[in-house]
């Protein structure tokens, strides 16, 4: 769980019941006031019920209402500056910088907590055994898939990358070599990515999924899950940027760990690739 309760609330909004969501949205708008309330006062002010307050706390993974108030108190400086809110019309550039820095920093912290070291180790073992590595994502996740392709190609890995779903599907079906597929989807619910994951499973290809949800459709069929922070919901799509940044951060962790395990050969191949580029 990320350190900041404000983002926990924002990221859980989509999974809450209607009553809990309405209460959560009220708390986000009156966070500083909630610190000084009890359950009864909050339920009255928010036009909710004490039972809903308690249920919401548990839905957020908290120990109770006191835990919620303690975490809100910790976040009081950010609440005062409204750093957890989305960008608004005619906002000062200095404030935009603070908001984005706050959001990205929190997302990195959450990813460090959610990303399981054992899963990274298992991914590296699959990479060692694979004769071909496939990588695929859509939109911003497609840029992350391309980053994997570029990084691994530079250290001598045989990597297939295409933005074309049909070409990727064809390659998965026709290539008899032992492989691993990196399927990247923040939500884990993109139909094209899910279908490629199912093809990989049918063909005996290891499936590494990068997503923010273990319980997603894609997460449920994965051999390995590289779990990242959720970007949350944002009107101006800053959440998409946050999702992509934590995915790239995760790729960097994986690449650095792999390079560390294969240090001498990695340094040699990176040097070779740099030298050949210099000649252009």
Q: Is residue 104 part of a domain?
A: no
Is the same domain home to 122 and 171? yes
Contact 31, 79 (CB under 8 A): yes
Is the same domain home to 29 and 136? no
Which CATH number is 187's domain given? Answer: 3.40.50.10490
Q: Is residue 89 part of a domain?
A: no
Q: Is residue 29 part of a domain?
A: yes
Instruction: Choose one of 34, 68, 84: the last residue of a domain.
Output: 84
Q: Is residue 91 part of a domain?
A: no
Overall number of domains in the chain: 2
Q: How far apart are CA 94 and CA 156, in angstroms?
A: 43
Predicted local confidence at residue 80, as pLDDT: 63
Predicted local confidence at residue 63, as pLDDT: 92
Burial class (CB in 10 A: 0-12, 13-18, 19+), 258: buried
For 235, left (φ over 0), alpha (ψ -120 to 50), or beta?
alpha
Report residue 227 as tokens.
């779990």
Q: How far apart are CA 117 and CA 193, in angstroms?
A: 24
Is the same domain home to 254 and 118? yes
Describe the strand order of the beta sheet including 132-137 as a list of residue ranges. Answer: 159-161, 132-137, 179-184, 206-211, 224-227
Is the same domain home to 67 and 205? no
Predicted local confidence at residue 1, as pLDDT: 43
For 134, phi then psi, to 5°, come to -105, 145
Predicted local confidence at residue 200, as pLDDT: 97
Is the same domain home to 201 and 119? yes
Predicted local confidence at residue 2, as pLDDT: 46
Predicted local confidence at residue 156, as pLDDT: 93
Determine the structural domain holding residue 176 and report its residue range: 114-278
Which CATH number is 58's domain given? Answer: 1.10.10.10
Is the same domain home to 51 and 132? no
Closest C-alpha to 227, from 245, 251, 209: 209
pLDDT digit string, tens, across residues 198-210: 999 999 999 999 9
Q: pTM of the full predicted structure?
A: 0.78
Closest C-alpha to 82, from 71, 151, 91: 91
Predicted local confidence at residue 102, as pLDDT: 81
Q: Which residues of the chain have pLDDT under 70?
A: 1-3, 79-82, 84-85, 87, 231-240
Q: Is residue 100 part of a domain?
A: no
């Amino acid at each position: 769980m990320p350190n900041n309760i404000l983002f926990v609330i924002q990221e859980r909004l989509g999974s809450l019941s209607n009553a809990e969501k309405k209460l959560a949205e009220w708390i986000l708008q009156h966070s500083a006031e909630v610190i000084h309330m009890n359950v009864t006062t909050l339920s009255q002010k928010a036009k909710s019920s004490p039972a809903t307050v308690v249920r919401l706390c548990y839905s957020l993974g908290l120990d109770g209402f006191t835990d919620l108030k303690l975490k809100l108190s910790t976040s009081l400086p950010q609440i005062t500056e409204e750093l957890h809110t989305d960008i608004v019309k005619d906002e000062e550039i200095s404030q935009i910088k603070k908001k984005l820095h706050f959001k990205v920093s929190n997302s990195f912290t959450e990813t460090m907590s959610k990303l399981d070291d054992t899963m990274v180790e298992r991914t590296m073992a699959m990479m060692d055994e694979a004769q071909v590595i496939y990588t695929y994502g859509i939109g911003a996740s497609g840029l992350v898939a391309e980053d994997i392709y570029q990084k691994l190609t530079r250290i001598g890995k045989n990597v297939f990358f295409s933005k074309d779903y049909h070409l990727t599907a064809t390659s998965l079906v026709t290539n008899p070599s032992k492989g691993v597929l990196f399927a990247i989807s923040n939500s884990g619910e993109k139909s094209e990515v899910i279908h490629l994951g199912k093809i990989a499973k049918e063909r005996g290809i290891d499936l590494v999924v990068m997503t923010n949800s273990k319980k997603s459709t894609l997460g449920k069929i994965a051999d390995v899950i590289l779990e990242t922070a959720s970007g949350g919901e944002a009107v101006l799509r800053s959440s998409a940027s946050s999702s992509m940044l934590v995915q790239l951060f995760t790729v960097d962790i994986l690449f650095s760990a792999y390079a560390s395990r294969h240090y001498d050969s990695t340094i040699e191949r990176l040097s070779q690739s740099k030298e050949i580029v210099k000649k252009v």
